[in-house]
Amino acid sequence: MLRSLVGSEMCIRDRNLKIPDVTQMTFPSREIHLPIALADRWTQAAVDQYRSLVRPRASYLPSNVDFLAANNGLASADEACATLTNSKWLVVGVGFYLGCPFAIPFDPRCRLEVPKYNPARTYTPDGAVGMGGPYLAIYPIECPGGYQLFGRTIPTWETFGTRDPFTANQPWLLSLFDTLVWEPVSEDELEQIRRDALAGRYTYDIREATFDMQAQKQFEDSVSQEVEALRSQQDRAQEAQREIEAKILAELDVEKASAPPAPPPVQIGEGMEVVEADLSGTVLKLLVGPGDTVVEDETVVCVVEAMKMEVQIKSGLTGSVGSVLVGAGQVISSGDPICTVAPK
């Protein structure tokens, strides 16, 4: 047994000695140029929905881009966007959600940092680009999320892999060690490019490249003093933002504690029955009103946010809606009445 263990250890040692110096290594890569609309209306709409339905105030509201600037000691949202797009980005992870790429900038002077949402959003548009900690991510589809949003790009996921450059074996765009290059465009330009991409008329700009560890190390060494100054600037800015966030959270706690008591139980009229909530959450949308006809197990009466997901509540009755008993933004519990129905 001892002889076997010694032999295995020597074998591992010999193999380790054959590993080349990592600082001298190069890796095959692809340089992928993607258009991006910065501080766009689509991601801002997701932020606005979050404000109206999840959390009205936070250090990162009403603008994630303004928060990106403030949390890193930058003068403006424009400076934050310019910083994020001035560097190429290295993809260091792919996954978590349908080929979602995570990347860091080659230029350490462009490594901005932000905390994630607390709590998370229930909705993020596909193609949204955001920051969480020091990492950038591109949301491949509409989904919940917590990264601070600063722009939107073209599709990076194609479910069936039928459009180039996607394939059935790889319906996601980005792979490890790919290089991202951002090309800012207007909202109108991005809208047209997205239409072309979804219709298969757009050619993704993908170029063969090489990632050189030695060149990257030399570059980082050459800007180390600038990076050190930036980190000190970020530390001061982030401490100020943490204080702002703590103050806002304390105010929200006071408001919650002083909220008016729950209303008395709803009185149901004679001949009426009640559609009840299947789960607890926040009402996002009401889809019926008094006089509307509903069909059992078919008609969606409202949409509720619960555990980062949007859940449809269907009518368990067929008939005519009498009154709606909840409002958008209202927090409800399982079993709470949603609306009354006169059965047919």
Per-residue model confidence as pLDDT tens digits over 203-212: 999 999 999 9
Average pLDDT, the chain: 93
Q: Band the pLDDT of 266: cuts 50, 70, 90.
A: confident
Asked if pLDDT for residue 148 goes beyond 80, the answer is: yes
Q: Distance from CA of residue 72 to its chain's centroid?
A: 20
The predicted-structure confidence for 58-77, as pLDDT tens digits, reads as follows 999 999 999 999 999 999 99
pTM of the model: 0.83
Closest CA to 73 of 38, 116, 109, 40: 109
Q: Band the pLDDT of 257: cuts 50, 70, 90.
A: confident
In the prediction, which pLDDT does 338 show?
95
Mean pLDDT of the 182-210 span: 97
The percent of residues in the chain predicted with pLDDT above 70, rounded, is 97
> H/E element holding 79?
helix 77-85
In the prediction, which pLDDT does 16 show?
74
Mean pLDDT of the 217-242 span: 97
Asked if pLDDT for residue 263 goes beyond 70, the answer is: no
Asked if pLDDT for residue 83 goes beyond 80, the answer is: yes
Q: Band the pLDDT of 7: cuts 50, 70, 90.
A: low
Contact predicate 283/300, CB 8 Å: no
Compute the distance between CA of residue 89 and CA of residue 99 in angstroms, rounded to an integer: 17
Asked if pLDDT for residue 53 goes beyond 90, the answer is: no
In the prediction, which pLDDT does 308 show?
73
